[in-house]
Structure 1
Amino acid sequence: MWKNTEVARRLGLAVPIIQGPFGGAISSVDLVVAVCESGGLGSFGAHHLDANGIGDVASRIRARTSGPFALNLWIPLDDADDPRIDDAAFARNAQLLQPYLSELGLQIPQRPKRFAPPYAEQIEAVLAARPAVFSFVFGVPSQSVLKRCRALGIVTFGAATTVDEAITLEQAGVDMIVATGFEAGGHRVSFLRAAEESLTGTFSLVPQVADAVRIPVVAAGGIADARGIAAALALGAQGVQIGTAFLACTESNADSTHREMLFSPDARYTGLTRVFSGRLARGIRNRLMNQLQAHAAQIAPYPIQNWLTGMMKKAAAGQERSDLMSLWCGQSAPLLTHRDARSLMAALVKETSLITGGWASNS
């Protein structure tokens, strides 16, 4: 039976469906709770939060559901935890965005002391919160962190975009692999090679990873309906992670303009870009993406570019300017039909059971 996989058994889930964690403040407690209460694993992307914020989110989730949930962090890649940049370089990077800031009535911001919360404080907060799952992207936590997770009974999920990354995660002692195909919306979470050199599709990646490692594999990228779930399980996955379909639900913290764009014809046209954050990510093509792509060499690295565009994206959302927003979106968005997380979960479970039941009756 498709529901009774190693992922579901290990985490105590009714179904092996995992809600993808969203960064940039578009995760929400409401969405996590809705997925958990529907038998899946809700996830909260916490990389934008400081230690107090992480503790508060975990407390609010636990106040509303007894189900297991995941907290997700970004492992510092290169010097991302505290990048060094002088005032002149910062000014050059900011100047590239000046015309768009002006359109939104904004001034070029002053350089902050830090561009993101310290990872060391974030990881301590996650361990103190003790979620059922600690999921992470852009690398591998230290051995000391993984050892503490095991001692606390926290299951670890590491994201891999290549077979080599999956093997590295397994060798480090990570419990489960999220094999992420390039169809996925949002950031490409590669860490061994450049993201542009790690663009394997889900249909190719999942069976190769399943063959290469002994730990459970969760398929991610381009899965938006029951057909995708059934296909992933047939390829050797023990569970699925779904992002865009949950992002489109009213319970997510995505702006209403963003959610509506996911149901529009524009969602057929996505692209990979570093324009919005300084790291390669998939979103709906819009004016900002298209115009700044010609200036790719001038775009600041993450998290500097992410910080620079942060206030701009917030203002654009408030003014319903989809042309200046980051509209994260996977390639299967044209398959979306549900706008409510509980309805989506119910449909996924019912329709996957029908498909896999058909397999059994035809065997």
Structure 2
Amino acid sequence: MLSNDLTAMLQIDYPIIQAPMAGGITTPELVSCVSEHGALGSIGAGYMTPQSLRQHIKDVQKRTSNPFSVNVFVPNTFNVSEEEVEASVNQLRPIRKALGVEGGNPSLPTPASMKRNFEEQINVILEEKVPICSFTFGFPPEEVVAELKKENVILMGTATTVNEAILLESKGMDMIIIQGSEAGGHRGHFLAERDQSLIGLMSLIPQVSDHVTVPVIAAGGIMDARGLVAARYLGASAVQMGTAFLTCAESGAHPTYKEAILNANEDDIVLTQAFSGKWARGIKNTFIDDMKGYTSVPPFPVQNTLTSAIRKASADQYNPAYMSLWTGQNPRLATDLSAATFIQHLVQEVKVITR
């Protein structure tokens, strides 16, 4: 139950992966602690500049010689009009005023700038000899796959449906992370729309396992040994846990964010695209309520950029009302343990359940 072909391939002791949560959560302390204690730590590089990513990797490498992974967002094309941007700016203006956010609008990302950042991130991963790379929001170009495989980098893709998993395997992914509808944060779907991609993890695991030959990693709502054991029995080779590590002591999540999760119930969790323009699961708050009347927002990453100052100001003021409080559907199971203690307890509980 605690060792298999996947753990051997990744050179880890336990089939446990700390999810690569972007936005400053995956500190070098968290990633290295997870890797030092037998699981796989992951850097969430989605919003990092290449320079920041390089420093982050070096900081992890100083703390551990064990394997860890880096996750990057696959850049997608997007179109946004000046009218859409202006409409969103107008919607957000009263909130900016209430929070005291001053200054003009930030420089907006373009498909070209996102592609350039992705390519530079890949170069950093290669230059710093990161052993494992995972992808979200699609699959990387063929030449990127070839370049990474040439350097023996293990590749993981993220799927929300069986068809996405099959496609990712055909594109050269060595392992498939399957994201159930329970998962917190951004939805990783890229073939179908949101409604067609909200498959529960317990239904998704056996179906994907029956249709791909590479190892399957289960993600979404797994918070303890019961979830890990269930996922393994259904056909997953490992689990990826996000919210469970987000509230750990070493996580870079804001204290207000951690507190919100530790005090949330399952019926507080909703899907929204108001913060970023991409569907994501988190705790319902004032911002989500205020944005309900708007049926359209600019696509990701434009809306994400437009709301960045609001989210930062809200965090700076320790005010959860306008923060993006991403979390999965099992917040009642969250703890505030250290990552090391959490892993130790998790492994011990698995042994008890499966003895």
TM bracket (short chain) = over 0.9
Cα RMSD (Å): 1.5
What is the TM-score with the length of structure 2 in the denominator? 0.95
Superposed displacement of residue 113, structure 1: 5.5
Q: In the alignment, what sits opposite 2:65? A: 66
**Whole-Å separation in 1 of the counterparts to 2:23 and 2:195:** 22
Q: Say whether 1:340 aligns with 2:352.
A: no
Kept in 2: contact 1:159–1:189 (CA 8 A): yes
Percent of aligned positions that are identical: 38
**Whole-Å separation in 2 of the counterparts to 1:296 and 1:232:** 36
Q: In the alignment, what sits opposite 1:48? A: 47
List per-residue Cα deviations over 1:44-65 (Å, max 9, x = no partner). 1111111111111111110110
One of 70, 90, 94 as aligned partner of 2:85: 90
Does 219-228 or 20-29 show the bigger shift? 20-29
Where do residues 1-363 of structure 1 align in structure 2 (5 Å cutoff)? 2-79=1-78, 85-86=81-82, 88-107=83-102, 109-112=104-107, 114=109, 118-266=117-265, 268-297=267-296, 299-357=297-355
Superposed displacement of residue 145, structure 1: 1.1
Count of residue pairs the alignment pairs up: 351
**Whole-Å separation in 2 of the counterparts to 1:111 and 1:323:** 22
Superposed displacement of residue 25, structure 1: 2.3
**Whole-Å separation in 1 of the counterparts to 2:121 and 2:295:** 31
**Whole-Å separation in 1 of the counterparts to 2:255 and 2:336:** 15
Residue type matched to 2:320 in 1? S
Residue type matched to 2:301 in 1? P
Residue type matched to 1:326 in 2? S
Residue type matched to 1:341 in 2? A
Residue type matched to 1:203 in 2? M
Q: Structure 2: which 5+ residue stretches go unaligned?
A: none
Residue type matched to 2:308 in 1? G
Superposed displacement of residue 346, structure 1: 0.6
| 3-state DSSP of counterpart to 1:296 | coil
Residue type matched to 2:234 in 1? L
| 3-state DSSP of counterpart to 2:63 | coil
**Whole-Å separation in 2 of the counterparts to 1:211 and 1:108:** 53
List per-residue Cα deviations over 1:290-312 (Å, max 9, x = no partner). 22022132x11111110111111
**Whole-Å separation in 2 of the counterparts to 1:78 and 1:209:** 27
List per-residue Cα deviations over 1:189-213 (Å, max 9, x = no partner). 0001112320000000011000000
Superposed displacement of residue 336, structure 1: 1.8
Q: Structure 1: which 5+ residue stretches go unaligned?
A: 358-363
Superposed displacement of residue 267, structure 1: 5.5
**Whole-Å separation in 1 of the counterparts to 2:155 and 2:47:** 20
What is the TM-score with the length of structure 1 in the denominator? 0.93
Does 242-251 or 112-121 show the bigger shift? 112-121
Q: In the alignment, what sits opposite 1:361? A: none
